[in-house]
C-alpha cells in the first residue's frame, strides 16, 4: 500500500464573499486539500490563526476592507515561515505581483482560475515551486539590471542575479515554460524551480534584511 501524501491545509483570505466561497469550494472539491478556514478580513485571519498551528498555504487577497494583505504576509513570514502564500489577483499585473513578492509571497493566482489550475497552483507553491510569467520575468530582468540608488550602496551579492538566473529569466521572458527552460539549459525542472525561488528571495525585502543580518553576524560583511 503506497502512503497517502499528507493533506495540505489552506486558509482563504478574501473579502468578496462570492470569490471566497468559490475558493473554499475549490479547496473542498480537491482531493488532498483541506480547508483551514475561509475569512474576509485581516482581523478574522489573525483570529483564525490564533492558538492553532499555521496552515500550509494561504490564498490571500491584497485589497482587504480592514487593511492591506501585505501586513498579513509580513506577519506570516515572521510567525510561520513554512507557510506558503499565494496572492490572488484579477490580472496578474506587475504592480500587484511584484509588491506581493517583495512582501514574501511565494507566487500569485488569477482569481478566475479553473479548479484544476487552482489546485495545481496550490500544490506547486506548497512543494516549493514558484510560478513566473514572461512579463514578470521581463520586469525582473529590467529591475535587477537597473542601477541601485546611491543610498543602497554597491549591489550586494543578494541584490544581483547569477548568470544562470539571468539565463532562466531571459528564456521565461521569451515565453518558455519551466520544463522547456530546463530542456533548453540541460537542467532538471526542479533545478530551474529552485533558481526561480532564489530570484524570488532576492526580491523579498524581509528576506534580504535577514540575509544582510546573517552575513554581518557571520563576518561576511563589515
What are 205's three cell numbers?
525585502
Which of the residues 178 through 217 are near another protein (CB under 8 A)? 180
Quote the radius of gyration of the chain (alpha carbons, Å).
18
Q: d(Cα 161, Cα 195) in Å, to the nearest integer?
A: 10
Provide the strand spans (E) within the chain.
Answer: 8-13, 33-39, 57-61, 63-64, 67-68, 84-89, 107-110
C-alpha separations of 219 from 133, 152, 205, 214 in Å: 37, 20, 21, 8
Neighbours of 45 (CB within 10 A): 24
Of 106 and 131, nearer to another protein (C-beta) is 131
CB of 187 to another protein, least distance (A): 18
Q: Does 137 bind another protein (CB under 8 A)?
A: yes
Q: Does 166 bind another protein (CB under 8 A)?
A: no
C-alpha separations of 116 from 35, 36, 120 in Å: 16, 19, 6
* Binding span for another protein by CB under 8 A among 7-15, 79-87, 153-161, 175-183: 175-183
Q: Does 174 bind another protein (CB under 8 A)?
A: yes
Among 7, 66, 78, 116, binds another protein (CB under 8 A): 116
What are 35's three cell numbers?
480547508
Of 99 and 139, nearer to another protein (C-beta) is 139
Q: Are 219 and 195 in contact (CB under 8 A)?
A: no
* Binding span for another protein by CB under 8 A among 7-15, 68-76, 128-136, 213-221: 128-136
Q: d(Cα 71, Cα 197) in Å, to the nearest integer?
A: 22
Q: Does 177 bind another protein (CB under 8 A)?
A: yes
Query: If binding means CB under 8 A, how many residues of this protein chain bind another protein?
Result: 24
Of 17 and 175, nearer to another protein (C-beta) is 175
Q: Does 133 bind another protein (CB under 8 A)?
A: yes
Of 49 and 86, nearer to another protein (C-beta) is 86
* Binding span for another protein by CB under 8 A among 68-76, 129-137, 159-167, 184-192: 129-137
Which of the residues 66 through 105 are near another protein (CB under 8 A)? 91-94
What are 161's three cell numbers?
542575479
Chain residues that interact with another protein, rule: CB under 8 A: 91-94, 110, 112, 114, 116-117, 120, 133-135, 137-139, 142, 172-177, 180
Amino acid at each position: 500500500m503506497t502512503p497517502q501524501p499528507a493533506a495540505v491545509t489552506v486558509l482563504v483570505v478574501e473579502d468578496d464573499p462570492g470569490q471566497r466561497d468559490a475558493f473554499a469550494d475549490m479547496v473542498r472539491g480537491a482531493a488532498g486539500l483541506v480547508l483551514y478556514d475561509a475569512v474576509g478580513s485581516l482581523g478574522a485571519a489573525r483570529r483564525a490563526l490564533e492558538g492553532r498551528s499555521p496552515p500550509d498555504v494561504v490564498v490571500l487577497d491584497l485589497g482587504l476592507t480592514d487593511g492591506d494583505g501585505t501586513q498579513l504576509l509580513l506577519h506570516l513570514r515572521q510567525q510561520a515561515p513554512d507557510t506558503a502564500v499565494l496572492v490572488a489577483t484579477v490580472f496578474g499585473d506587475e504592480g500587484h505581483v511584484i509588491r506581493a513578492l517583495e512582501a514574501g509571497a511565494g507566487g500569485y493566482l488569477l482569481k478566475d482560475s479553473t479548479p484544476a489550475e487552482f489546485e495545481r497552483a496550490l500544490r506547486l507553491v506548497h512543494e516549493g515551486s514558484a510560478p513566473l510569467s514572461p512579463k514578470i520575468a521581463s520586469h525582473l530582468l529590467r529591475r535587477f539590471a537597473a542601477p541601485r540608488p546611491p543610498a543602497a550602496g554597491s549591489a550586494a551579492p543578494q541584490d544581483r542575479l547569477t548568470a544562470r538566473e539571468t539565463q532562466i529569466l531571459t528564456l521565461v521572458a521569451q515565453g518558455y515554460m519551466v520544463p522547456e527552460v530546463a530542456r533548453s539549459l540541460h537542467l532538471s525542472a526542479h533545478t530551474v524551480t529552485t533558481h526561480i525561488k532564489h530570484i524570488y528571495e532576492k526580491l523579498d525585502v524581509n528576506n534580504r534584511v535577514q540575509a544582510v543580518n546573517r552575513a554581518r553576524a557571520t563576518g561576511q560583511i563589515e
